[in-house]
Amino acid sequence: QVQLVESGGGLEQAGGSLRLSCEASGLTFGDYSVAWFRQNPGKERELVTIISWSAGRTYYADSVKGRFTISRDNAKNTVYLQMNSLKPEDTATYYCAATSNWYEVDERGYAYWGQGTQVTVSS
């Protein structure tokens, strides 16, 4: 019933940009905070960024701060991740996740997850 669908991933050269989207259905979107996680084979899932219910608070991992920007449009039930100045180390599967908590840094606190979208950055 509740679905999160990511899109916008693909292949990009270092220094380029991608814009990921996470469209939600089956929930009252404005009641949920949304995060982006990423993961590569052999590595633990990494929290990238969080945006609160009303976009009043955001969090960015140090590795992406200044390059990535999270935003949301509750009327469209969509969260975006603008990724600029991409680096090869940004290569990963990116997952969108939603929580009823206002601010949650523990992945176990996220009840709903998308299927992921692959981002590959070449040098």
Percent of the chain with pLDDT strictly greater than 90: 85
For the residues 86-113, what does the mean pLDDT come to? 95
Q: Please, what is the average pLDDT of the chain?
A: 95
Percent of the chain with pLDDT over 70: 100
Q: What is the DSSP string of 5-71?
A: EEE--EEEETT--EEEEEEEESS-GGG-EEEEEEE-TTS--EEEEEE-TTSS-EEE-TTTTTTEEEE
pLDDT tier at 54, thresholds 50, 70, 90: confident
CB of 23 within 8 A of CB of 87? no
* pLDDT of the residue at 23: 97
pLDDT for residue 27 is more than 80:
yes
* Radius of gyration for the chain, computed over Cα atoms and rounded to the nearest angstrom: 13
Residue 55 pLDDT more than 80? no
Per-residue pLDDT reduced to its tens digit, 88-98: 999 999 999 99
What pLDDT does residue 91 have? 97
Q: How confident is the model at residue 28 (pLDDT cuts 50, 70, 90)?
A: confident
Residue 41, C-beta contacts closer than 8 angstroms, at least 6 positions apart = none
Cα–Cα distance for residue pair 120/123, rounded to 1 Å: 10
Structure letter (DSSP) for residue 106? S
